[in-house]
Amino acid sequence: MSGSTPFKMRLVHLDLKGAPPKVSYLSEIFPLFRALGANGLLIEYEDMFPYEGSLRLLRAKYAYSPSEIKEILHLAGLNELEVIPLVQTFGHMEFVLKHAAFAHLREVGPFPCTLNPHEAESLALVGAMIDQVLELHPGTRWLHVGCDEVYYLGEGEASRRWLQQEQNSTGKLCLSHMRAVASRVQARRPSVTPLVWDDMLRDLPEDQLAASGVPQLVEPVLWDYTADLDVHSKVLLMQKYWRCGFPQLWAASAFKGATGPSQAVPPIKHHLRNHVQWLQVAGSRPTDSLQGIILTGWQRYDHFSVLCELLPAGVPSLAACLQLLLRGGFDGDAKAKVENLLGISNLEMMDPGFLQGGGRLLPWQQHPCPCHTSQPPSAQLCGRAAGGCGWEAGAGEGQPLPPPAEAHPPGHGSAHPAHSTQPPGAVEHPRAGAGGCPTAGFLPGCRGRVAGGERAPQPAAAASSTPWQGRCSGPLRGQLMPGGSCCGLGASALPTVMLHPVAQQCLAHTQFLRALGNPWGRD
């Protein structure tokens, strides 16, 4: 099967608010993105951006340095990947509003997710963030300013007073802030067009949206991550946006991070169906009706949530989805291309059902992870990436498989990472390996393993001390990565994953381990 894609831009979303990759890992994975069919990146930095001055406290402990940001942009350029940075400016502001210095700018005091749009200091804050991001992205043509899932909007004291005035509404309030932010972007860099997620715009009256001035300033990104996306409704929504005056529209699908807050492996069939539906949406309109598509890969459902699928675990799904977009379908040739590029013998399409309880659960699945001890998380987990913490089979051999349980979709219809009311935590997630961490990981497609290495205590039935040697195969010819990092991710990238371990006989589990270079995932 072959065909031309209706999406001239195909951006891979890098969500850096959980398990952010090292630059060395990005240098290896960017060529693969390009080979698979991507030509751009949407980089959501959150607290990984090297903010300076009064914003320095927004940095995570192991945030990228300015030189690393420049190196990432250089690597992207070498691989013909256009970079669009993303800065949250309204909702999902937890990484900013959790700090005492900015807590007074919350829309509702107890919840750090939404910015108070009435405070002049709020616009000054996001303006300063935008300025610093644009300064390190001198060539960008677009800047994504977020503005999705603005929870509790209108519930703050200032908003309630404002809403009591005649003809005021939460929709008008939302549009006013969007317009102010977009105007700030264009005042700073007239050549840059702001992008916004479209969920806060969908249900607004057409006349209100058209009269707001927002359509002349931003390009909306229509996101829908469901496998049964309603094509007709999406086309009608696009027509509404065009009538309101938006000159360009974008689509957003998902290759991971959209089917469960603690999902471990992306259900590839689900994500392929989502992309098939988006192809139908694009095909129902004239060519170039959509500027491009963003393949989102959420790392957490919000700043305080546990990790869902890690980037290496999502690479097979990303590869399949990109090939589907390029070819107009996913047949045997597309599957073979993915397998060749990833260096794997078979792309397993079984939906893993980790969250739903599919696969054979090991006896300690219901018990606290043994990694949660007094040891530093990085020291505990780095040694476990190759089979510890319940990953190795052994316990429960010969036991029957439990029946799949009913799925538990996220709070917003499985469409987008759901809002979490979990209180802020004080857990750092460093990219750099901690001192003394002996093990390393692999790129997808590698066949290898680490020898030796200290491990934290494991369940007796799961422990394995068999030494083994490693080799890497596939087009990437990946090597063991130095620095004590699991798969090139931060050394403590895994402690909060909260994976539900399953036996190696589960195909999806095996595929996940293979992506991590785990011996139990070998062919």
- Quote the CA–CA distance of 31 and 235 in Å, as a whole number: 34
Side-chain half-sphere exposure of 298, counting CA atoms within 13 A: 25
How many helical (H) and strand (E) elements, i.e. helices and strands, does the chain have? 13, 10
- Read off the tokens for 406: 């009913």
- Read off the tokens for 346: 């078979």
- Quote the CA–CA distance of 142 and 119 in Å, as a whole number: 26
Closest CA to 443 of 14, 26, 23, 4: 26
The H or E element spanning position 294 is: strand 290-297
- Quote the CA–CA distance of 400 and 39 in Å, as a whole number: 46
- Quote the CA–CA distance of 441 and 484 in Å, as a whole number: 8
**Known catalytic membership, residue 149:** yes
Give the DSSP letter of residue 237.
H
Cβ-based burial of 483 (10 A; exposed 0-12, middle 13-18, buried ≥19): middle
Radius of gyration for the chain, computed over Cα atoms and rounded to the nearest angstrom: 23
Tallying the residues shown for the chain, one arrives at 523
CB 81 within 8 A of CB 34: yes
Closest CA to 311 of 142, 427, 485: 485
Side-chain half-sphere exposure of 250, counting CA atoms within 13 A: 25
Q: Which of 149, 219, 309, 392 is catalytic?
A: 149
- Answer positive or negative: Cα dihedral of 151, 155, 157, 158: positive
- Read off the tokens for 161: 């007073």
Q: Strand, coil or helix: what is 95? A: helix
CB atoms within 10 A of CB 135: 12
- Quote the CA–CA distance of 47 and 383 in Å, as a whole number: 27
Phi, psi for 27 (deg, rounded to 5): -65, -25
- Answer positive or negative: Cα dihedral of 145, 148, 152, 157: positive
Which sequence positions are flagged as catalytic? 149
